[in-house]
Amino acid sequence: MLQDPIKPLMRAPLTDPFGRDISYLRISVTDRCDFRCVYCMSEDMAFLPKRDLLTLEEIDRVASAFVSRGTRKLRITGGEPLVRRDIMNLFRSLSRHLASGALDELTVTTNGSQLARYAQELADCGVRRINVSMDTLDPEKFRRITRWGDLSKVLAGIEAARAAGLRVKINAVALKGVNEDEIEGLMQWAHGLGMDLTLIEVMPLGEIEPARLDQFLPLSMVRAKLMDRYTLDDDPYRTGGPARYVRVRETGGLVGFITPMTHNFCESCNRVRLTCTGTLYMCLGQEDAADLRAPIRASADDAPLYRAMEEAISRKPKGHDFVIDRRQPRAAVGRHMSVTGG
């Protein structure tokens, strides 16, 4: 355990200027990944030196401070979170908040490459639901999209997760001219195994080799194409994230749509993101951020950390300003998705 297994002293919830309580913290534990997905990273990424990263103990301390201020859901992300050394120590420690009732859910977004190794441990730590990022069932296309990935390892990881009792949701980025003809097949495969599917529009984060406009596929078009063959009923199911779901009558499964470009999801945003360096982003699509590493390293007392958190949330914007436009070749936000956390 990184910390004593005690319930944090509950304080007043963190509320932003628009009356939204911050109940969901996404934590990127590393900017490193064993894939180089074409919509997420440049092929030749420069990663942060390890000395700049928060220790696992420091991540636990910040996460616990947020739990004490009303955060009910923690999602561990990366990069690829399961490549960080000793990462299961963090899961084991954070699980104390599940046991105390202070936290509703501890979950993870992963590329699946390490799941065969860690699925049972995750389940033992109280993780009940995970997201696996996978954009195609074609092994060669999978390698082209991820540059380095091995689809067979991901599929084996998904099977290990299901065997461990984890509920798996597949996340797929819709890529024009790449996987748009596979989305129906992905849905049928996922639903056939009892897994939901969430589709995501490309976001203009970080400079990468392919042009964003060349990758961008509006999910309104994807949904319309699915409706030609399937009956899609709006469903109230929510996970705490931005996806809006439909249930497919013919398969019985759910399809989620995350549409930051064509229809933003900001009005009910309850999320903030902590990077592996201790930078808190109040909005995925804005550059404004707060440094939480300085206060936790300056004092063993959490009072400076709470002040920094409160000041940061007081600046949370109403929404993002994503746009993909040929007249604006640069990314809307300079940092890569792997830096902020997926």
> Does 187 show up as a binding residue in the annotation?
no
Place of tokens 């040929």: 326
Asked if 53 contacts 90 with a C-beta cutoff of 8 angstroms, the reply is no
> Does 266 show up as a binding residue in the annotation?
yes
> Does 41 show up as a binding residue in the annotation?
no
> Does 276 show up as a binding residue in the annotation?
no
What is the distance, to the nearest Å, from the Cα of residue 256 to the centroid of all Cα atoms in its chain? 14
> Does 79 show up as a binding residue in the annotation?
yes
> Does 26 show up as a binding residue in the annotation?
yes
Rounded distance between C-alpha atoms, residue 134 and residue 154, angstroms: 8
For the sheet containing 73-77, what is the strand order?
232-235, 244-248, 254-258, 196-200, 167-173, 129-133, 105-110, 73-77, 24-28, 271-274, 279-281, 289-291
> Does 169 show up as a binding residue in the annotation?
yes
> Does 282 show up as a binding residue in the annotation?
no
Nearest to 61, CA basis, from 304, 272, 338:
304
> Does 269 show up as a binding residue in the annotation?
yes
> Does 246 show up as a binding residue in the annotation?
no
> Does 37 show up as a binding residue in the annotation?
yes
> Does 118 show up as a binding residue in the annotation?
no
Rounded distance between C-alpha atoms, residue 130 and residue 195, angstroms: 11
Nearest to 330, CA basis, from 193, 165, 205, 179:
205
> Does 40 show up as a binding residue in the annotation?
yes
> Does 271 show up as a binding residue in the annotation?
yes
Asked if 248 contacts 191 with a C-beta cutoff of 8 angstroms, the reply is yes
Instruction: State which H helix or E strand residue 167 sits in.
Output: strand 167-173
Specify binding-site residues for S-adenosyl-L-methionine: 39, 79, 133, 203
Specify binding-site residues for GTP: 26, 75, 109, 169, 271-273
Specify binding-site residues: 26, 33, 37, 39-40, 75, 79, 109, 133, 169, 203, 266, 269, 271-273, 283
Specify binding-site residues for [4Fe-4S] cluster: 33, 37, 40, 266, 269, 283
